[in-house]
Amino acid sequence: MAKAPATTKRNQSIAKALHIIEAMAASEGPMRLQDIGKTVRLPASTVLRFLKTLMDHDYVEQNPDTLQYFLTLKLCAVADQVKRQVKIRDVVHPHLLSLSRKLGEATSLAVERDMLVVYIDVVEGPDHMLQTLQRIGKIAPMNTTGVGKALLLDATADEVDALIKSRGLPKPTSRTISTKKSLVAELKAIRDRGYAIDDEECEMGVRCVAVPLRDYSGKVVAAMSTSGPIARMTPDRIEKIGKQFIAAAATVSRQLGYTD
């Protein structure tokens, strides 16, 4: 039998076309042929061939007066179709399974609804000891959980004020962050660190590590986490888990269309 190639040869033409589309999308307006060529580092004659093909399929138009090229809203129509197909839970679930198996701990996915955390997917750990804390449909305050703080990562001062006015800052344990000053400071620490920690702030005896997930808009749209008893979730292990979750979040966010 013939030996299969180690890698599949990539289509360079498609790569060039995508590069042109991305360059035009990033510009502040219509572009001249020469400017597109300089941006993507291709000869103008090569760029022109790609532009004509894109025009034939209604993805690009040319202004007859200025001769500049611009993308059409057909790309938006395609994006809307893709958005309807992509469900965050479906994208994230395989990663939750993989992380749970590697760590031997429960993992979860949560989103924000009406300034509250809502868990939309949970993978139980092998000992099932945390199933009462995390279950699909469970609602929790934003300030008491790792996922809640991860979801608040990009919150402005006005948005933090709105949260406090609407939901307050409940304090289920003595370790829960319950003041605006401490919450703002914690969000800054999360930005610097890359991941959020729930250090017995929701339930005594339990620690959690959480990371934000971003979509194509760059916004935080969900957060995923892992939780375990403090005997296993030591500071050293939390740091290692945090690095694993940062890497996993980068992969998930790319799948959701985010580009850093």
pLDDT digits (tens, 9 = 90+) for 21-37: 999 998 989 999 999 99
Specify the fold of 86-255.
Beta-Lactamase (3.30.450)
DSSP 69-138: EEE-THHHHHHHHHHHH--HHHHHHHHHHHHHHHHTSEEEEEEEETTEEEEEEEE--TT-TTTTT--TT-
Confidence of residue 87 (pLDDT cuts 50, 70, 90): confident
Confidence of residue 5 (pLDDT cuts 50, 70, 90): very low
Specify the fold of 12-81.
Arc Repressor Mutant, subunit A (1.10.10)
Residue 194: its pLDDT value, please?
Answer: 96
Residue 222: its pLDDT value, please?
Answer: 95
**3-state secondary structure (DSSP) of residue 45:** helix
Q: Is the pLDDT of residue 38 over 70?
A: yes
Residue 124: its pLDDT value, please?
Answer: 84
Q: Is the pLDDT of residue 13 over 80?
A: yes
CA 176 to chain centre: 26
Please give the radius of gyration of the chain, using alpha carbons only, rounded to the nearest integer. 23
- Which regions of the chain carry the CATH code 1.10.10.10? 12-81
- Which regions of the chain carry the CATH code 3.30.450.40? 86-255
pTM given for the model: 0.72
